[in-house]
Each structure stands twice: as structure tokens, then as C-alpha cells.
Amino acid sequence: MDIYIGIDVGSVSTNVVAMDQNDHIIFKEYTRTNGQPLESVKKGLKLLEEDLKRIFYTVKGVGTTGSGRQLAGILVGADIVKNEITAHATATVNFHPTVNTILEIGGQDSKIIIIQDKMVVDFAMNTVCAAGTGSFLDHQSERLGVPIQDFGGLALTAKKDVRIAGRCTVFAESDMIAKQQYGFSKAEIIKGLCDALVRNYINNLGRGKALKAPYVFQGGVAANKGIKAAFERELGCEIIIPKYYNVMGAIGAAILAKEYIEVSGEETKFRGFGAAELAFKPRSFECEDCANCCEVIKVELNGKTVAIWGDKCGKWANSVTG
Amino acid sequence: MRIGLPRALLYHYYYPLWKSLFEQLGVEIVISDITSKQLVQEGVKVTVPEICLPIKIFNGHIINLLSKEVDYIFIPRFIGVESGKWFCPKFIGLPELADYTIDGVKSKILTVDIQGKKESTCEWTNYRPLCEALQVTPKELKKALKTAERVWQHFRDCCKQGFTIEEAEKMCSEDMRGSERTAHHTHDITLGVLGYVYNVYDPFVSMDIIKKLHGMNVRVITFEMLDEKRIHEKFKRKSKNLYWTFTDKIYGAAVELMENHQIDGLIHITAFGCGPDSIVGKMMELDSEKFKKPFMTIRVDEHTGESHLLTRIEAFVDMIKRQKISERRRELA
Ligand code: SF4
Ligand code: SF4
């Protein structure tokens, strides 16, 4: 069997998927990045290797995406390294060809992608404001003492509406405490929080965009039934949650790798599963050669520098040969 | 005598002019360092927080020049270079702004009022105060201005052939003729990059967006590469006239590029805290919907991360390239 591997390294989660030549997903793994992108990629690859022992296979291509895409790309020997917007859109269109709007909410960031005839025509990203992301919910679940897994289900049982000011996490928090004191139930507060997050998301990312059904909602937060319901109330129609909602970026990377290999006819640059054992050493240092004080990231393999980035002037990046 | 030129604001547009002018008048010019994180921080520290980022950066450059033992720092007051339009109020109050913000600069400020009808600013009355400060006669000044104006026109002509400001400056200083070189390499798509010269050409603010785009095989068109006369025609047809000279130029360029079928999309670069851009940015956004041109705004502040910016640019370029490929496929089918 020919397989394609997709890896999505984000600040919160690292996802690895394997796909066969017919775009069927044969493996998926969602792990926490915990600030160690390389370790989590290695772990994901190990699990994949174990899993693949049950079949005969050849790895034909590998793609990486997410904020750690460059680093992961070097580690595994990726054929393509793509930004998150392109990767997510590619995966969604593959499963839901008629999609017009992709709503994506992850742990630390969120995006909206507008699609027409399977093509990205507009997008917006938010990485600054936590009030439109999963970390907002994580935070409030801790405060309320309700595990995040139960959050969505509980929201659906609310009997009354309560409006919580959700412009920013700080306001939301104080408003939430106030509303609790007024005697609203936990379920109602949670529903209010879901509505606040969705309002925020639509105001920040959807502003000035033509939002049209069909909507596909993906990213880690798509598991939350309360948020899904809040979106449906806000947008006035049904929202689709794809089967692999939390690994769509990785699937997109795999599809893009496959496309690339098919078009170019090249052999994959995949280093093999042994790569997980290779002693990659990433380190960062502050360059002091000029007033920019760049945070330069340098990756070494067996004492040899294989990649450098982060320098504004390019003098470090250019020093790496082949 | 040593005169400092802050590498900020309209420096990027008028440098060839000022260089020629001052050198003819026997002055040594000292340019502040290229904008760096540290330089920006120095500026941010002393400037009122509410003001736009380019002014904070400008102040950083003044501080930088103070350490370079200059006799004067040239801070012109730009009021107007065409009738019926003015500069953003921050330019009109620039000498005072620097004076009240930065200790020890007052005695070094060398200023002139730029208020006339020529974009080259070369009416001699504009620069008359230089006679006293530099001990030159009006005749000498007039003569130097004439030459400087020619140099600057040559620089502008190079820009209009499609060269970036950096390339055009180099061509002028090396005295290469534009026709000897061509501005364009191969490219997959063409994007308009709109924004003030001090945003687009400042490596800190724009994070070298033009170089990044060139690296992605994108041809870049900026407002100063366009023919002003044609833009002027556009002005008459625009839905709205803007009072600020450069804001108006950028909007004119936007309208021109939106109608041009060779342009695949537009990127607007704006700095945090800019008043005029909050208006023109919205107007461009509305127009882009009307003309169905992909449009993206990049708003930069002193904390903007490079990787986030790169992701957005990459995604924007990818989106347009992939659309083009599928269009071509459809045409073939
Ligand atoms: S990497 Fe280049 S730009 Fe960055 S601090 Fe060092 S010399 Fe300066
Ligand atoms: S036009 Fe905008 S960015 Fe330029 S000086 Fe005025 S407020 Fe600042």
C-alpha cells in the first residue's frame, strides 16, 4: 500500500496522520505539544510505525504544516511545508466539496476560511486574542470546576439565556462571577460563555466577510457541543463537523504532499522512521551582531548544522550549505 | 558641517533629492542606522503611547542620530506639495513633536517649511532658511536645487519603470540608466502592495515584505511605480477625495490596480495607530469587494511576530496561485 504522511505541529497539539492512495485515513494521532515540538513529532511517528506493522506499505510522500512546520519538515524530510490556511482548506474541501465557510477553533488560535468552488477566496487568522480560542474555554472550565469534556453537554441543558460580556477574557471572567451571584445555574453560565465565544469569533474574524452555508466547523474545540449549538443559533443553520475534525491540518498536509509527488513525479525526501531516533538538536540563541537582537533558531544533526532561521538579515540562514 | 537625516518617514521618498542638495552645498550627511528592534524601543520609550508607530520609529532615529555627533538634524515640516491637499497633521507638527519629545534635540533641529505646488518640493523659497544655517547665497541654493530636482526626477523615473525604491536609489547613485536593466524577473502572479513608503520600505515595519514576495515568485507593484498622471485621472472618478497627499496617492493607486486585470490581488500595509489609514483602509476593503480582487490588510505594531506575518503572506499567495492554476485547468478542459 502507498501511504502519505501529514504532520501538523501547533503550539498546543501535534497531529500525525497517514493516508492511503485513495485518501482514506488509516492512522491518526492527536497529542499535546507541551512546548516540545520535536519530541511530540517523534512520539507521533513512533506510534505510526508501530501501527503500520500490520500492513505492507511504502511511504510515498510527507507534508508538514502548523507553526512548527519548518522544524518538523527538517526532522522528517518533508516533501512540502505548507501554511495552516492552505492545509486546512485542502482537507475540508476533500471531505466536503460544497463547503463555503470553514470555522476553525484551536487551542491557541482560530481562523475563518471562505471557500468558493473549492478554492480559498478569503481568510482571517487570530493569534493575539485568547477570547476567541479554546484556551478561553479551558480557563473558564477550571474556574467553574466543570471538566472541559462535560462543558458542551452541560450547556445544552440550560433553561434560560444569560448574556456574558465576552469581548475579552478579563471582562468575561468578572461578568461570569457577577452572573453566578445573580443565581444563574452553571449550565446557563456555560451556555452564556459559549455564546460569548462565538459572538467574539464572528465579530473578530467574520467582519466584512460573506458568510455562507454550508459551514464546516473544525479544530479541537469542534468537539464541544455547546459551541456547535451556539454557532447554529448565531448563523441560523446547521453546522457540519467533519469526522476527523481535530486533525484536519495534518490531513491537508498529507493531501498536499500527495498532490506534489503526483505532479512532480519526484521521490519522497522522507528520512524514514529511523528519523525519530536521529539526534536533532535545536537550540536558539540571541544574535548580538547588530541591534536587531534576533532570536535565531539553529538545528543540528550529528554536529552538523542542517537549518537556521529567525535571522532578519539572512546571514545565518545563508551560512547553511546543502 | 555634518547634518543628520533620520532614515524614517519621507526619507524613503526624498533621499536622492536631499543627498544631492546637501552635498552640493558642502555638507556631509549622516544617515541614522537601519531600523532595528532596539532603535524602535528607544523611540517607543520617549513617545506618547497614542501616536502611530511610524512617528515612534522616527523618534528612535532622532535618538540614534544624537549619538552620531551631528551639527544639525534635518526635520522638514511637510505642509503641502499640491493644491487642495495637505500632509497628515503629524508631518505638519513634526519639528515641534521632536522638540518636545526628545531631550537635547532642540538646538540641533534644522527645519524648513515645505509648502508649494511641486511634488519635488524644489521651489527655492521652501528651502530659503538653509541659506542662513549653511552660510550659502540664494544663488548657490537655487543652483543646487535645480540639479537636485533633476536627480530626484531621474529617481522617480526609475521607480515608474517598475523598480523598487531601493533599486531605484542604487541605480541613481551608480548612475546607471534604467533602460540598461529590466525590472522584472519571471513571476507566477502580480500583487499590488499598498502603503506609505515608511511602512513598505522599513525593514522592521514590513519585515521586508517585498523581498519575501519576490522569493515566492511574486511580482510586486507599489504606488510609486505608477504613472501619476493616470492616477490623477482616476482621482476625478474616485468615489471620494482624500485631503492627505500620500493617503490620496495610495487610494488612487488602489483604484488603478483594482481595475487592472494583470493584478492578482492587493495587500495593504498599515501601521498601528494611523488615522488616515483607518479611513482609506475601509474604502479599499469596500472597493475590493466591488472589483472582486483578493485583498488583505497587514497591520503592524511594535510586537508583531514575523512568523505570523509570513504565514499570512504565504497563505494569501498560495490562495491566488492555486486559483490561477485551477482557472487555467478549466480553460484547457
Ligand atoms: S541575525 Fe542579522 S539582523 Fe539579526 S541580530 Fe544578528 S546580525 Fe542583526
Ligand atoms: S499618515 Fe498615518 S502613519 Fe503616517 S504619520 Fe500620519 S498617522 Fe502616522
Q: How confident is the model at residue B265 (pLDDT cuts 50, 70, 90)?
A: very high
Interface test with A, best of B318, B327, B329 (most A CBs within 10 A): B318
Q: Check residue B200 and give its pLDDT.
A: 95
Average pLDDT, chain B: 89
Q: What is the DSSP letter of B295?
A: E
* Amino acid residing at A263: V
Domain final residue, candidates A241, A260, A294: A241
Find the helix or strand (DSSP H, E) in which B147 lies.
helix B138-160
Ligand nearest to the CA of B274: 2
- For the Cβ of A174 lying below 6 angstroms from any atom of ligand 1, the answer is no
B322 contacts in chain A (CB < 8 Å): 86, 119-120
Residue A237 CB neighbour total at 10 angstroms: 11
B294 contacts in chain A (CB < 8 Å): 121-122
Task: Out of B37, B207, B323, name the one closest to residue A291 (CB).
Answer: B37
A86 contacts in chain B (CB < 8 Å): 314-315, 318-319, 322
Domain housing A315:
280-319
Q: Check residue B243 and give its pLDDT.
A: 84
Task: Out of A83, A127, A293, name the one closest to residue B314 (CB).
Answer: A83
Please provide the distance, in angstroms rounded to a whole number, between the alpha carbons at the two ends of chain A: 32
* Pairing mode, strands B109-110 and B77-80: unpaired
What are the tens digits of pLDDT across the range B295-327? 999 888 877 777 778 888 998 999 899 888 888
Sign (positive or negative) of CA dihedral A257, A258, A260, A266? positive
Q: Which atom from ligand 1 is nearest to the alpha carbon of A316?
A: 1
Q: Are residues A159 and A103 in the same domain?
A: yes
Q: Are residues A267 and A287 in the same domain?
A: no
Q: Which atom from ligand 2 is nearest to the alpha carbon of B275?
A: 7
Q: DSSP 3-state assignment of A263?
A: helix
Q: Check residue A207 and give its pLDDT.
A: 80
Q: Which residue of B has its CA nearest to A66?
A: B311
- CA A254, CA B143: separation in Å to the nearest integer? 67
pLDDT in tens for each of the 322 residues of chain A?
A: 899 999 999 878 899 999 999 999 999 998 888 778 888 888 899 999 999 998 899 999 999 999 889 888 988 999 999 999 999 999 999 999 999 999 999 877 889 999 988 888 888 887 666 666 777 777 777 777 877 778 778 888 887 787 877 666 667 777 777 777 777 788 888 888 888 888 888 888 888 788 999 999 999 889 888 899 999 999 999 999 999 999 999 999 999 999 999 988 899 999 888 776 777 777 888 888 887 788 888 888 777 787 787 777 777 777 775 4
Q: Are residues A205 and A109 in the same domain?
A: yes
Q: Which residue of A has its CA nearest to B37?
A: A292
Q: Are residues A74 and A105 in the same domain?
A: no
Residues of chain B with CATH 3.40.50.11900: 184-332
Task: Give the burial class of B292: count Cβ atoms within 10 A of its Cβ; 0-12 exposed, 13-18 middle, 19 or more buried.
Answer: exposed
Q: Are residues A77 and A209 in the same domain?
A: no
- For the Cβ of A290 lying below 6 angstroms from any atom of ligand 1, the answer is yes
Q: Are residues A74 and A147 in the same domain?
A: no
Q: Check residue B175 and give its pLDDT.
A: 57
Q: Check residue B178 and give its pLDDT.
A: 46
Distance from the alpha carbon of residue A61 to the mean position of ligand 1, in angstroms: 35
- In this predicted structure, the answer to whether residue B234 has a pLDDT above a threshold of 70 is no
Contact A119 B326 (CB under 8 A): yes
| Beta carbons of A175 and A164 less than 8 angstroms apart | yes
Alpha carbon nearest to ligand 2 atom 6, residue = B88
CATH number of the domain to which A265 belongs? 3.30.420.40
Q: Are residues A272 and A284 in the same domain?
A: no
Q: Are residues A296 and A269 in the same domain?
A: no
Contact A293 B38 (CB under 8 A): yes
Q: Which of A79-88, A125-134, B131-140, B202-211 has the lowest mean pLDDT?
A: A125-134
- CA B248, CA B83: separation in Å to the nearest integer? 13
- Considering the domain delimited by B184-332, tell me its CATH architecture: 3-Layer(aba) Sandwich (3.40)
Cell representation of residue B227: 504613472
Q: Are residues A61 and A116 in the same domain?
A: no
Q: Which of A269-278, B102-111, B169-178 has the lowest mean pLDDT?
A: B169-178
Tally of structural domains, chain A: 3
Q: Which of A17-31, A174-188, B143-157, B197-211 has the lowest mean pLDDT?
A: A174-188
Q: Check residue A315 and give its pLDDT.
A: 77
Find the helix or strand (DSSP H, E) in which A29 lies.
strand A25-32
Q: What is the DSSP letter of A278?
A: S
Q: Which atom from ligand 1 is nearest to the alpha carbon of A296?
A: 1
Interface test with A, best of B311, B328, B330 (most A CBs within 10 A): B311
Q: Which residue of A has its CA nearest to B207?
A: A312
A85 contacts in chain B (CB < 8 Å): 311, 315, 318-319
Residues of chain B with CATH 3.40.50.11890: 2-159
Q: Check residue A322 and give its pLDDT.
A: 45
- For the Cβ of A312 lying below 6 angstroms from any atom of ligand 1, the answer is yes
Considering only CB atoms, which residues of chain B are within 8 Å of chain A?
33, 36-39, 203, 207-208, 285, 294, 305-308, 311-312, 314-316, 318-319, 322-323, 326
- For the Cβ of A168 lying below 6 angstroms from any atom of ligand 1, the answer is no
Alpha carbon nearest to ligand 1 atom 8, residue = A290
Q: Are residues A258 and A303 in the same domain?
A: no
* Pairing mode, strands B295-300 and B265-271: parallel
Contact B322 A119 (CB under 8 A): yes
Percent of chain B with pLDDT over 90: 67
- CA B331, CA B188: separation in Å to the nearest integer? 17
CATH topology classification for B2-159: Rossmann fold (3.40.50)
Closest-CA distance, B122 to chain A, in angstroms, reads: 36
Q: DSSP 3-state assignment of A270?
A: coil
> Is A288 in the B-facing interface, judged by CB distances under 8 Å?
no
Q: How confident is the model at residue B179 (pLDDT cuts 50, 70, 90)?
A: very low
Q: Are residues A233 and A268 in the same domain?
A: no
Q: Are residues A163 and A191 in the same domain?
A: yes
What are the tens digits of pLDDT across the range B23-40? 999 999 999 999 998 999
- For the Cβ of A109 lying below 6 angstroms from any atom of ligand 1, the answer is no
- In this predicted structure, the answer to whether residue B56 has a pLDDT above a threshold of 90 is yes
Residue A100 CB neighbour total at 10 angstroms: 18
Task: Give the position of cell 508631518.
Answer: B91
- In this predicted structure, the answer to whether residue B141 has a pLDDT above a threshold of 90 is yes
